[in-house]
């Protein structure tokens, strides 16, 4: 029996597959398309997603494939107005090694994740379409379009906003959407335009944008749709893109060629009423869709998968009771609601600014879009914390449920290291601040890694807000499980035991 079937081979499904395969869980990733999607689609990984993918060993490969700084050239009614760079001057810090988003097309992210998955011994099965499934208390049987069947313990739907799995479950997709396309999109080659800059033309006739990709001749085009004499939208095509370029830029020398992806985009703001039905889970766009402002789509899906991967793995490996799986919806559904709110506000700001000279897409950055301040303070896995905390740690005080910061530390052989290097993997980490914590780090269960922090320069103490000798238990997804006095070893062990308790 296959342990987990994942439907959909986008960033969400692939991140989940890698997170499970790394734990030794058998996975099958099925994808109904006969070939991998050629379009760029999402084009940024935010800092939190970069931390997630770095934990999977992809940091250097991603850095080589993308860029962290991208100037915006803003035009109004065809005339250059100003230049901006949202991450200008932003540099890594001891607590955040990836302070800026990485610009690269979703196709490259998916390719790198597929390569990593292959290193774990699994691959994507193309032209493999789920048409139905049934489940009971023992497992799930997946039925494929070609008549094949797969028996599994769990099924995870990562099959997008039109999810077949969600529809078969009958889970309402609550919200609203615009029936008419508000944007045409595509990948093109461009002649006559300065590379290395995201060019954004706003004005009375709408918006026209061309964003380049590092190491390629390809640009992503996003624009207000062309309409015919009767006001009807003209289907996206290279010819239509060329006419839109002339209309918005006023330039006769700008030539678009080689359109390889043609699409339309509609505003949809929807969230699944629930993320789980028995042994079936929803993740990524299957569970929530929202405006593009802030570039959170691919990122939110990756972070859904990161939350679910360790929990599914722990249950399947006998390290936690099935009740742990209930915390997936408990933690991620409020994040989706927050995401819908901030992206809707961001899209409204962009649309309001289209007719204002000097406005660019950066006005859509409403709230913290880095993902670094998002946490799960309200959840049952945040030991000893109130249940009414918001999703952002706005007060700056680190608490259970928050993302665990990076900081310098000592490696297992006494060499200089970083906390993120010690966190990497599928284990809990118990940080011991100060000499009084040393006794609590001995004789821990095999899935808990002890890290002693003498922290002579105080960087880690400052990052964690620690003053005295203290224990900090960090989850496999690098969120804080609990903060306790150095003498509270039994509290730590009790937390771990409770994960494996029945119910």
Report the distance separating Cα 364 and Cα 348, nearest Å.
Answer: 8
Longest distance between any two alpha carbons in the chain, whole Å: 78
pLDDT single digits (tens) 236-262 = 999 999 999 999 999 999 999 999 899
pLDDT single digits (tens) 188-243 = 999 999 889 999 999 988 999 999 998 889 999 999 999 998 989 999 999 999 99
Q: What's 23's DSSP letter?
A: T
Domains and CATH numbers, the chain: 2-66+104-175+268-364 (3.50.50.60), 67-93+179-266 (3.30.9.10), 408-499 (3.40.30.10)
- Check whether 447 has a pLDDT greater than 70: yes
Structure confidence at residue 402 (pLDDT): 97
φ, ψ dihedrals at 365, nearest 5° = -85, 75
Query: What is the phi-psi region of residue 458: left when phi exceeds 0, alpha when psi lies from -120 to 50, beta otherwise?
Result: left
Place of tokens 């932003």: 90
Q: What's 56's DSSP letter?
A: T
Report the distance separating Cα 21 and Cα 107, nearest Å.
Answer: 21
CA triple 433-434-437, angle to 5 deg: 75
Structure confidence at residue 503 (pLDDT): 46
- Check whether 1 has a pLDDT greater than 60: no
Q: Measured between alpha carbons, how far is residue 456 from residues 38, 468, 495 in Å?
A: 50, 13, 29
Q: Which residues pair with 141 in a beta bridge?
A: 134, 151
Q: Is 309 helix (H, G, I), strand (E, B) or coil?
A: helix
Structure confidence at residue 502 (pLDDT): 57
pLDDT single digits (tens) 116-160 = 999 999 999 999 999 999 999 999 999 999 999 999 999 999 999
Structure confidence at residue 384 (pLDDT): 63
Helices 106-119 and 11-21 pack at an angle, to 10 degrees, of 20
pLDDT single digits (tens) 373-382 = 999 999 999 9
Q: Measured between alpha carbons, how far is residue 416 from residues 364, 408, 473 in Å?
A: 40, 7, 21
Query: How crowded is residue 297: how many other Cβ atoms within 10 Å of its Cβ?
Result: 24
């Amino acid at each position: 029996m296959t342990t987990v079937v994942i439907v959909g081979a986008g960033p969400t499904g692939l991140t989940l597959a890698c997170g499970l395969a790394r734990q030794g869980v058998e996975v099958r990733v099925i994808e109904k398309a006969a070939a991998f999607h050629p379009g760029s689609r999402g084009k940024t990984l935010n800092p939190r997603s970069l931390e997630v993918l770095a934990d999977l060993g992809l940091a250097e490969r991603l850095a080589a494939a993308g860029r962290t700084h991208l100037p915006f050239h803003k035009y109004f009614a065809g005339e250059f107005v100003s230049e901006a760079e949202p991450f200008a001057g932003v540099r890594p810090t001891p607590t955040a090694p990836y302070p800026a988003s990485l610009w690269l097309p979703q196709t490259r992210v998916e390719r790198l994740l597929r390569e990593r998955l292959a290193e774990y011994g699994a691959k994507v099965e193309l032209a493999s379409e789920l048409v139905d499934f049934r489940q009971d208390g023992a497992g799930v049987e997946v039925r494929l379009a070609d008549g094949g069947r797969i028996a599994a313990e769990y099924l995870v739907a990562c099959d997008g906003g039109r999810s077949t799995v969600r529809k078969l479950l009958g889970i309402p997709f609550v919200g609203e959407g615009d029936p008419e396309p508000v944007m045409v999109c595509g990948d093109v080659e461009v002649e006559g335009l300065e590379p290395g800059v995201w060019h954004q033309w706003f004005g009375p006739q709408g918006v026209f944008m061309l964003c380049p990709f590092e190491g390629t001749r390809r640009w992503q085009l996003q624009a207000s749709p062309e309409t015919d004499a009767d006001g009807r939208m003209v289907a996206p095509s290279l010819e239509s893109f060329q006419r839109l370029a002339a209309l918005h830029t006023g330039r006769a020398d700008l030539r678009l060629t080689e359109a390889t992806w043609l699409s339309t985009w509609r505003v949809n703001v929807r969230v699944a009423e629930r993320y789980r039905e028995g042994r079936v889970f929803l993740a990524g766009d299957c569970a929530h869709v929202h405006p593009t402002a802030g570039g959170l789509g691919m990122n939110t899906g990756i972070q859904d998968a990161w939350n679910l991967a360790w929990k599914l793995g722990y249950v399947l490996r006998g390290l936690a009771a099935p009740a742990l799986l209930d915390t997936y919806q408990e933690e991620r559904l409020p994040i989706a609601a927050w995401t819908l709110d901030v992206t809707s506000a961001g899209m409204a700001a962009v649309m309001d600014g289209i007719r204002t000279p000097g406005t660019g897409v950066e006005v859509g950055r409403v709230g913290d879009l880095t993902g670094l301040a998002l946490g799960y303070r309200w959840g049952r896995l945040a030991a000893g914390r109130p249940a009414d905390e918001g999703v952002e740690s706005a007060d700056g005080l680190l608490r259970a449920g928050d993302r665990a910061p990076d900081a310098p530390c000592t490696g297992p052989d006494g060499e200089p290291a970083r906390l993120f290097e010690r966190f990497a993997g599928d284990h809990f980490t118990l940080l011991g601040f100060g000499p009084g914590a040393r006794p609590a780090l001995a004789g821990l269960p095999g899935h808990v890694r002890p890290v002693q922090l003498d922290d002579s320069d105080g960087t880690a103490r400052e990052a964690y807000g620690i003053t005295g000798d203290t224990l900090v238990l960090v989850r496999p997804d690098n969120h804080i499980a609990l903060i306790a006095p150095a003498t509270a070893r039994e509290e730590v062990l009790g937390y771990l035991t409770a994960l494996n308790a029945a119910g």
